[in-house]
Amino acid sequence: MTQRKEPFEPLVPGQVRMYACGVTVYDLCHLGHARQALIFDVIRRYLEYKGYHVTYVRNFTDVDDKIINRAKELGRRWDEVAKGYIEEYYRDMDRLGIRRATIEPKATEHIPEMIGIIKALLEKGYAYQINGDVYYEVQRFPEYGKLSGRKAEQMLAGARIEIDPRKKNPLDFALWKRSKEGEPAWESPWGPGRPGWHIECSAMSMKYLGESFDIHGGGADLIFPHHENEIAQSESCTGKPFARYWIHNGFVSINQEKMSKSLGNFFTIQEVLDRYRPEAVKLFLLSAHYRGPLDFSDDRLEEAKKALDRFVTAFEAIEALNALPPRSGGDALYDHMVSKGREAEEQFQAAMDDDFNTAAALGVLFGFLREVNLVRSEVERNITAGGRSALHIARDRINRLGGVLGLFEQPSLRPGEADLKGRLVELLLDLRAQARSKKDWATADAIRERLNSLGIEVEDTPQGSRWHWRR
RNA sequence: GGCGGCGUAGCCAAGGGGUUAAGGCAGAGGUCUGCAAAACCUUUAUUCCCCGGUUCGAAUCCGGGCGCCGCCUCCA
């Protein structure tokens, strides 16, 4: 509200109540939606890491013009279209490893609450009805524009909105829309209709979080008018301050242009995930501060993938050390790693405390990884019990902190690695076939024995060798 | 026209009045290796778009330019 960073103090000590505007389910989600969802997921995870009890509400807008239009295009029922895209949404978020919110309400399931607020606004004189439509009267709320830093007069000057002559003021917005034939409709004191877009978030956030709560947010494009309108209708209804802190994320762009449906320059989450691991996509999305723009390109994703592999290879190498028996000693290494780890965790917290600076936090993790690799190369030369524990504890810390960013939670197998095993066996069998053709039985038998000891049985047949995992 | 944001190495990106200007990618050198690849280590900005000002001191604050982007209509 002050347009700057503010120290965070929740309304109720130890508890955080946050609301993020979710998606309108009329199409597949693109990378921009992924960024928004991830950022709020990370904020939630970090607050939990800090020991807060977090109630996180994220809604679905499941009735709206765009859904109705989409249904017409597809020749399906509007509610089926919404339901289908909610399923797609969950599929995308699950693949990305973005946690479900505490409560995920749908607009259509909260019509009575919305009607309640509209009624109250009419009674208090903040709204007026025309012919089955109900509008909020912006001029009755002097603070209108306080979030976006605009004044009502300014907005009129350059307005490019079409003016509805029935409205008292062009800025007035619909709380309730009368339904046309064939459109979804709910009974109301003003006749059959459906809610305006802004009212749903007021109704659902206040229902689950109370009339005043801590954090509200969404994409930067929602600042005006959506969030401005939410504030107006909520505060004039309750007479209390609405959300205390506002968090708005920047856009994902392509060639410096906002990724959007209208420009057609978007990539769906599914398209991106077909080509890149979820963890790499997340690393990319967190590599810039959430408020700034983030330009998408294959080069950036490739970089993120390689950067992520630094962690993956280190984890794998640390794991591999377990197979070998350690010597005693290495206590100094252990102490060193613990203190470096503590230092890193403090720096990580400092970065996240500063307006959730994930890019800086990631930098801390990479810096710590270097320390870990230094120790690792020493332990690889001389495996000691202390050295190995040092690496384990460091790996656990990286995992834990990475987990706050939603990273390192998924199996570290690189894509194709599972079937890579099969291809490696085939490769060995090819070599073995060459050896057999030269009657190099020692080599051939050695390969068979070695594979056998790994649980792979090899059978020779007239058609060539076959292999299978021992059951 | 109004409101807001951004401009830091070859690229991406933190920082934000005075410690060595994080980190990633790419490049260079090295360790390892029969050679290679991979991996790891080291290294890479006397300088932060330009011009003025404030200050003992500015990339960081202020004023003015230039360039890019977003919002003001649905948009994460």
- pLDDT at residue A203 in the model: 96
Question: Which protein residue lies nearest to nucleotide B1, measured between its Cα and the C1' atom?
Answer: A158
Q: What is the dihedral of CA A394, A395, A400, A403, to 10 degrees?
A: 140
H-assigned helices in A438-470: 441-453
The nt closest to A251 (CA vs C1′) is B76
- pLDDT above 90: residue A152: no
Pairing outcome for strands A257-258 and A252-254? antiparallel
Closest CA to A362 of A409, A304, A313, A317: A304
**Which tens digits make up the pLDDT trace of A192-247?**
999 999 999 999 999 999 999 999 999 999 998 999 999 999 999 999 999 999 99
Mean pLDDT of chain A: 89
Segment A293-316 shows an average pLDDT of: 92
H-assigned helices in A50-108: 65-74, 78-96
- pLDDT at residue A270 in the model: 94
Full set of structural domains in chain A with CATH: 15-269 (3.40.50.620), 299-404 (1.20.120.640), 417-469 (no CATH)
Top-confidence residue, A408 or A464: A408
Residue A300 to residue A248: CA distance in whole angstroms: 23
**Which tens digits make up the pLDDT trace of A255-290?**
888 998 878 889 999 999 988 989 999 999 999 999
Spanning CA of A422 to C1' of B38, the rounded length in angstroms is 20
- pLDDT above 60: residue A412: no
ipTM of the complex: 0.94
Helix (H) or strand (E) holding A319: helix A298-320
Helix (H) or strand (E) holding A58: strand A53-58
Residue A64 to residue A184: CA distance in whole angstroms: 9
Residue A186 DSSP label: B
The nt closest to A283 (CA vs C1′) is B24
- pLDDT at residue A415 in the model: 47
The nt closest to A309 (CA vs C1′) is B39
The region of weakest confidence among A201-205, A379-383, A434-438 is A434-438
- Per the CB < 8 A criterion, the answer to whether A78 and A87 are in contact is no
Spanning CA of A320 to C1' of B29, the rounded length in angstroms is 29
Spanning CA of A265 to C1' of B49, the rounded length in angstroms is 29
Closest CA to A224 of A160, A156, A150: A150
The nt closest to A351 (CA vs C1′) is B14
A426 pLDDT band, cuts 50/70/90, is confident
Residue A364 to residue A366: CA distance in whole angstroms: 5
The nt closest to A380 (CA vs C1′) is B40
Spanning CA of A316 to C1' of B50, the rounded length in angstroms is 50
H-assigned helices in A217-273: 228-238, 269-273
Spanning CA of A292 to C1' of B69, the rounded length in angstroms is 10
Spanning CA of A103 to C1' of B9, the rounded length in angstroms is 46
Spanning CA of A418 to C1' of B28, the rounded length in angstroms is 36
- pLDDT above 90: residue A76: yes
Spanning CA of A331 to C1' of B2, the rounded length in angstroms is 65
The nt closest to A32 (CA vs C1′) is B76
Segment A22-50 shows an average pLDDT of: 95
> Which positions in strand B are less than 7 Å from the protein's CB atoms?
1-6, 11-16, 22-26, 38-42, 68-76
Question: Which protein residue lies nearest to nucleotide B26, measured between its Cα and the C1' atom?
Answer: A303
- pLDDT at residue A411 in the model: 57
